[in-house]
Chains A and B, each alone.
Chain A
Amino acid sequence: MSLLFKGRPQGASDTRVGLWQMLSMLVISHIRQALGSLGELWRQPAASLMTIGVLGLSITLPSTLYILVKNTEKISAGWEQASEISLFLKQQTNAGSAQQLITRVKTWPEVDKVTFIPADDALKEFQQLSGLGDAMAYLKANPLPDVVLVTPGEKHVSPQAARALLDKLTSQREVDVGKLDVEWLERLYAVLNIARELVTLIGGLLFISVVLIIGNTIRLNILSKRDEILVMKLVGATDAFIHRPFLYTGFWYGLLGGLIAWFAVIIILWWMDSSIQAFASLYQKQFNITGLTGTALLTMLGVSILLGLVGSLISVQRHVREIEPR
């Protein structure tokens, strides 16, 4: 008795815990509750693995799609750099006018490189490459025009920008016809846009389902600990103290789910790598698929943890409040 009530003023509640002790014990309490939550998951391996697995796979799908879209963008970026606009000059354009056009176009900010191919050079190249060299000898005059090849600058390689540049170039008085084969590029961009939107849509839906799944799992967890929560409230536990173990459970679900998603993405990319290599070799191309970068991995883990926390937070805010001693 003397030990328990030593130094206690009669009938008055003195300050029992100092600020420093309170802060240090808060940290210890957080660590204890975090490890306790991990222990709870460990003690129910089947149920925990199912929830973590659902979360992991839900994050794997948008992550994999994201990587595929990024890699496709990388490939298409290579194609874009090779894209050129061919300007066929009017037959009456002389060398001086052609040179003026080249000098003018070179000053445009949208243009990276300008190459002039005189009609004679074009004819020679055609004779060599077409295999019609002998037939060409019977022509009275060179039917090919002078050609100017314009390579758009880095910021003007998208189909829309390249098309705008083409319009600008063809409006020049020396130019007869301009050609830019961007339809296939536009189709690719459209497909990529759809893919990007699909990633966002699928990701959004899966993320919502993850929040609901975790919220429901935590709800069941709360209900199974109803008596414990009641007793804790009766002996003076704050809502924050009661919420913490459940929030840590959500955190662990998120972290472990994110790690599962990471491993799943690595396996999927490894699985697909040989098929992609085989496909690339058909085009005499060497292509190495790019996996998750450090930033992307951290983002994925961050999103996963956030989903776990949001799911558990929604659940504890709603269901712990409902449990009140009566």
Chain B
Amino acid sequence: MIKFEQVSKTYPGGQRALSKVNFHIAPGEMAFLTGHSGAGKSTLLKLISIMERPTVGRVMINGHDLNVIKRRQIAYIRRDIGMIFQSHQLLMGKTVFDNVALPLIIEGYTHKETSRRVHAALDMVGLRDKARDIPIMLSGGEQQRVGIARAVVNKPPLLLADEPTGNLDPKLSMEIVRLFEDFNQAGVSVLIATHDLGLIARMKYRTLTLKDGRMITDGLSDDLQENAR
């Protein structure tokens, strides 16, 4: 599903964001990615979502070697990755329905199937009655859930979430993570980047920890707590 082999990333100007990172997320697995600001979490997610390319090493996503793919393949590979952002990345001029429907329209689903799937996705995140609203009318938590609905609406095998609970209170954060658990139980691989150690501690999932661009721990969140002590 996701495989990093000796991956390093150095930005133009010499800033080293990742150094010899190795890990593997299997199909149907759920994991957290944590670390302080500047540890390299965002760079790692950017490599997976093909916003950046590795300087050294190999990144494999859903069987594609990102080092050798052509530019025109990127769009098709991204369709298999549901991405959730802290800043939601919603189209504020369009309705919730249109935002969630976007991946389906791009993929060429029929209007009937699009409508069916969008309503199912909105139902899942508890926003069925908000389909005709525009995102600016919604709270931060609701906007995040619109982003989640959009990420899962075309049933991607992999979900990436970058600080999905960053702007939410603990109760809402827990609700969002429970949603990810539901997706994972349906067979979706989930990788959640967060610096909320409390949230990670409450869940019993594999946790990857980055520090200064290096992977320093890779284990269950209980082990992480032990290491922290």
Interface positions of A (Cβ within 8 A of B): 1, 3-5, 8-13, 16-17, 21-22, 25-26, 28-29, 227-228, 230-239, 241, 324-326
Among B72, B108, B120, B182, point to the contact of A3 (Cβ < 8 A): B120
Inter-chain CA distance A234–B75, complex, in Å, is 8
CB distance from A58 to the nearest CB of B (A): 32
B124 within 8 A of A: yes
| B117, B152, B157, B182: most-surrounded residue (chain A CB, <10 A) | B157
A8-B186, A236-B76 known; A13-B62 Cβ under 8 A: yes
Judging by beta carbons under 8 Å apart, are B106 and A5 in contact?
Answer: no
Please encode chain B, from 155 to 172, with 1 for each CB lying within 8 Å of some chain A CB and 0 for all others: 111000000000000000
Judging by beta carbons under 8 Å apart, are A230 and B155 in contact?
Answer: no
Can you pick out 21 interface pairs between chain A and chain B where the beta carbons lie within 8 Å of each other?
A3-B117, A4-B124, A4-B153, A4-B186, A5-B188, A10-B187, A11-B1, A11-B28, A11-B188, A16-B154, A21-B108, A25-B108, A25-B110, A29-B105, A234-B49, A234-B83, A235-B78, A235-B102, A236-B76, A237-B106, A241-B75
B189 within 8 A of A: yes
Enumerate chain A residues within 8 angstroms of B23, measured Cβ to Cβ: none
CB distance from A3 to the nearest CB of B (A): 4
Enumerate chain A residues within 8 angstroms of B1, measured Cβ to Cβ: 11
Among A8, A11, A231, A326, point to the contact of B89 (Cβ < 8 A): A231
Among A4, A26, A326, point to the contact of B121 (Cβ < 8 A): A4
Chain B, residue nearest A326 (CB): B51
Inter-chain CA distance A231–B84, complex, in Å, is 11
Enumerate chain A residues within 8 angstroms of B152, measured Cβ to Cβ: 4
Judging by beta carbons under 8 Å apart, are A8 and B83 in contact?
Answer: no
Please encode chain B, from 96 to 116, with 1 for each CB lying within 8 Å of some chain A CB and 0 for all others: 000000110111111100001
A4-B121, A13-B80 known; A227-B91 Cβ under 8 A: yes
Chain A, residue nearest B81 (CB): A236
Enumerate chain A residues within 8 angstroms of B75, measured Cβ to Cβ: 233, 236-239, 241
Judging by beta carbons under 8 Å apart, are A235 and B106 in contact?
Answer: yes
A1-B182, A4-B117, A11-B187 known; A232-B102 Cβ under 8 A: yes
* Chain B count of residues within 8 A CB distance of the other chain: 47
Inter-chain CA distance A26–B109, complex, in Å, is 10
Inter-chain CA distance A233–B87, complex, in Å, is 16
B27 within 8 A of A: yes
CB distance from A304 to the nearest CB of B (A): 30
Interface positions of B (Cβ within 8 A of A): 1, 26-28, 46, 49, 51-52, 62, 72, 75-76, 78-80, 83, 89-91, 93, 102-103, 105-111, 116-117, 120-121, 124, 150, 152-157, 182-183, 186-189
Judging by beta carbons under 8 Å apart, are B79 and A12 in contact?
Answer: no
Inter-chain CA distance A199–B93, complex, in Å, is 46
Judging by beta carbons under 8 Å apart, are B155 and A11 in contact?
Answer: no
Among B46, B89, B187, point to the contact of A5 (Cβ < 8 A): B187
Inter-chain CA distance A25–B107, complex, in Å, is 9
Inter-chain CA distance A25–B90, complex, in Å, is 24
Enumerate chain B residues within 8 angstroms of A228, measured Cβ to Cβ: 91, 93
A1-B186, A11-B28 known; A236-B155 Cβ under 8 A: no
Enumerate chain B residues within 8 angstroms of A231, measured Cβ to Cβ: 89-91, 102
Judging by beta carbons under 8 Å apart, are B187 and A8 in contact?
Answer: yes
Enumerate chain A residues within 8 angstroms of B27, measured Cβ to Cβ: 10-12
Judging by beta carbons under 8 Å apart, are B120 and A236 in contact?
Answer: no
CB distance from B2 to the nearest CB of A (A): 11
* Given A8-B155, A22-B108, A237-B106: 7 more A-B contacts, CB < 8 Å: A3-B116, A4-B120, A11-B188, A17-B109, A231-B102, A236-B76, A238-B72
Inter-chain CA distance A100–B1, complex, in Å, is 101
CB distance from A32 to the nearest CB of B (A): 8
Inter-chain CA distance A168–B102, complex, in Å, is 79
